Amino acid sequence: MSWSKLKQHLESFLCPALNGRVEYRATGYRYLPDKAGLCYIAVDKKNVLNMSDKTTLIKWYQTELEIKNDPDIQIPISNEEIEAVRKDTKGMVPEDRLKVIARSRKISEYAKELLLAQVTLSKSNFSDVATKFLSISIEESMESNDILLNILALVDRRVGKKRILNMAEKMKLKHPIVQYFYELRLSTL
């Protein structure tokens, strides 16, 4: 599918409040046919997502330690996770340390998922992911670990107010760029 046709399809799915604010842009190289052009998403005429560009407004993590030390990341811990730690340690660890251990385990898992998602995004082709988005259900896009699919689904008109409000907890575990688009969508409700 040509870029202009793909862009037209994607923009037809934008929620009405974001129509004109969110733009899909691409650059091409006429004399380098084997080199893919750059695709990016702009919000209010500002480049917000350029696959893995470090100059964008969103924080890109380089290491697991950066994620663990980021004070903005809030990781909710359930009682089941604390009980799993208690079971693993055979009750030999003080109660206050159980939460610390459970949080540490969960944030390590989260960090690995986050870095994997960033790597996938930097290697992915915007056009391929956008074409996939147009061919799968909105639920699959929302549940996916692919950052770009999450973003495209969040700005989609098929995702209603109730669904947006109900995903607040899930968004805490997503990449900051996905959280950015979630907040953008929330501001339109």
Q: Which pLDDT tens digit goes with each residue over 86-132?
A: 888 888 888 888 888 888 888 888 888 777 777 666 555 777 888 88
CA dihedral 179, 129, 131, 141 (to 10 degrees): -40
Closest CA to 120 of 153, 144, 138: 144
Mean pLDDT of 152-178: 89
Q: Write down the pLDDT at residue 69.
A: 79
Phi and psi, residue 127, nearest 5°: -65, -40
The domain locations on the chain are 3-62+116-186
pLDDT confidence bin for 37, thresholds 50/70/90: low
The predicted model gives 63-71 an average pLDDT of 77
d(CA 161, CA 49): 24
32 φ/ψ angles, rounded to the nearest 5 degrees: -125, 75
pLDDT score of 76: 80
Query: What share of the chain has pLDDT > 90, as a percent?
Result: 21
- Residues of the chain with pLDDT > 70, as a percent, come to 84
pTM more than 0.85: no
Listed range (10-19, 46-55, 157-166) with the worst mean pLDDT:
46-55
What is the band of 5 on the pLDDT scale with cuts at 50, 70, 90?
Answer: confident
Which pLDDT tens digit goes with each residue over 44-61?
A: 988 887 764 455 555 667
Using DSSP's 3-state secondary structure scheme, residue 41 falls into: strand
Average pLDDT over residues 10-14: 90
